[in-house]
């Protein structure tokens, strides 16, 4: 931790970066810290409780400004950053990524390739909670699944916390706000809730890196992160992707390969 604090202080003092996005101690759990000077770097922490996905801030121009900045990133945040690179939302000149590896060593990344190589060491696994609920859902028939999700979605009151927490929901105008035509009704109701969540899921296909931030943010506890996680898991083997390790360009659904014989389409 000391190494991280010292390095951040040095970076800010040198003027190498103008901002470091990291974690500090909160009332119940760590919360984001925006370090703009070396004094506040003493508050920085980085441990296993720091899972809030800070990648959500790196696309906010009003926050990060025009100067170079840094972010401390646990593995889930690194995956999101990779995906944001693929989607042309980040530039290597502007962002410095810091992490602390399993041996407690401070690591710094500048390029997409460096992060990609580091992330490749970590396999994407379901946690206990995900495993429990997903195995229950996987055991259901199609009708039971529909009933389960309709039940869950009926609690949704469309606060869009899931959207705010997701680092990949960076559109300046979300599809729910498009009103010419109004494809999705904005008010909460079982059907329009489902419309929103189906749309959200479809927009995440081939992009979601299963950080779980959306499910974590849901104030009524709908496990919505499992929809996009399951889609990611199903997509990976069929499209030759490794979950959480995006290819440098394109997307499973938008790109194609000549040698792809599409055996799974029958």
Partner 1 sequence: MSKIGVFICHCGENISATVDVERVAREIGGMEGVAHAIDYKYMCSDPGQTFIKEAVKKYGLDGVVVGACSPRMHEPTFRRACAEAGLNPYLCEMANLREHCSWVHEKSEETTEKAIDLVKMLVEKVKKDKPLESIKVPVTKRALVIGGGIAGIQASLDIANTGHKVILIERDPSIGGHMSQLSETFPTLDCSQCILTPRMVEVAQHPNIKLYTYAELESLEGFIGNFKARIRLKAKSVNYSTCTGCGACIQKCPVKKIPSEFNAGLGTRTAIYVPFPQAVPNKPVIDRVNCNYYKRGACKICEKTCQVGSIEWDKEDEIITEEVGAVVLATGFDVKGTDFFPEYGYGKYKDVLTGLQFERLASASGPTFGEIRRPSDGTIPKKIVFIACAGSRDPAKGIPYCSKICCMYTAKHAMLYQHKVHGGESTVFYMDIRAGGKNYEEFVRRAIEEDTVNYVRGRVARVYEKDGKLIVKGVDTLLGGQQVEIEADMVVLATAGVANCGSEQLAQKLHVSYDPYHFFAEAHPKLKPVETNTAGIFLAGACQAPKDIPETVGMASGAAVKVAALFSNDELVREPIVAVVNRLAPPLYSTCVGCFMCETACPYNAIEHEEIKGRDGSLIRTIARVNEGLCQGCGTCVAFCRSKSIDIQGYTNEQVYAEVMSLLND
What is the contact surface with partner 1 in residues (CB under 8 A)? 87-89, 170-175, 178, 180-181, 183, 203, 249-251, 253-255, 258
Cβ-based nearer residue to partner 1, 132 or 177:
177
Instruction: Give residue for tokens 């996005």.
Output: 21
d(C-alpha 78, C-alpha 99), whole Å: 9
Cβ-based nearer residue to partner 1, 28 or 180:
180
Cβ-based nearer residue to partner 1, 89 or 192:
89
Cβ-based nearer residue to partner 1, 142 or 180:
180
Residues β-bridged to residue 34: 21
CA-based nearest residue to 55, from 10, 99, 4? 99
CB of 89 to partner 1, least distance (A): 7
CB of 216 to partner 1, least distance (A): 22
Angle, helix 75-86 to helix 112-119, in steps of 10 degrees: 140
Residue 9 tokens, joined: 């202080």
CA-based nearest residue to 10, from 41, 34, 31? 41
Tally the C-alpha atoms within 13 A of residue 261's C-alpha that lie toward its C-beta: 1
CB of 85 to partner 1, least distance (A): 11
CB of 61 to partner 1, least distance (A): 9
Scanning the chain, the segments in alpha helix (DSSP H) are 2-14, 55-58, 61-64, 75-86, 112-119, 128-138, 142-153, 161-165, 190-204, 213-217, 225-239
CB of 171 to partner 1, least distance (A): 4
Cβ-based nearer residue to partner 1, 143 or 259:
259
d(C-alpha 116, C-alpha 237), whole Å: 19
Cβ-based nearer residue to partner 1, 205 or 236:
205
CB of 190 to partner 1, least distance (A): 18
Residue 167 tokens, joined: 């680092």
Cβ-based nearer residue to partner 1, 20 or 208:
208
CB of 195 to partner 1, least distance (A): 14
In DSSP notation, 164-224 reads: HH-TT---SS-GGG--TT--S-SS--HHHHHHHHHHHHHHHTTT-----HHHHH-TT---T
């Amino acid at each position: 931790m000391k190494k991280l604090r010292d390095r951040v202080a040095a970076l800010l003092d040198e003027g190498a970066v103008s901002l470091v996005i990291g974690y500090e101690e909160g009332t119940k759990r760590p919360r984001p810290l925006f370090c703009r000077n070396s004094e506040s770097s003493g508050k920085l922490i980085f441990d296993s409780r720091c899972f809030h996905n800070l990648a959500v801030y790196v696309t906010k121009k009003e926050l990060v400004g025009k100067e170079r900045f840094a972010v401390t990133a646990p593995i889930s945040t690194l995956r999101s950053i990779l995906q944001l690179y693929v989607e042309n939302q980040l530039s290597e000149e502007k962002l410095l990524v810091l992490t602390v590896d399993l041996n407690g060593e401070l690591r710094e990344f500048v390029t997409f390739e460096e992060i990609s190589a580091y992330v490749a060491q970590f396999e994407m696994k379901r946690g206990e909670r995900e495993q429990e609920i997903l195995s229950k859902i996987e055991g259901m028939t199609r009708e039971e699944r529909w009933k389960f999700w309709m039940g869950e979605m009926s609690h949704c009151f469309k606060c869009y916390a899931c959207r705010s927490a997701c680092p990949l929901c960076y559109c300046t105008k979300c599809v729910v706000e498009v009103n010419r035509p109004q494809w999705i009704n904005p008010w909460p109701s079982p059907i329009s809730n489902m419309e929103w969540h189906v749309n959200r899921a479809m927009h995440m296909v081939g992009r979601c890196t299963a950080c779980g931030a959306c499910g974590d943010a849901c104030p009524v506890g709908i496990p919505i992160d499992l929809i996009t996680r399951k889609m990611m898991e199903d997509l990976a083997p069929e499209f030759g992707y490794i979950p959480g390790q995006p290819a440098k360009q394109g997307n499973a659904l938008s790109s194609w390969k000549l040698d792809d014989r599409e055996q799974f389409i029958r």
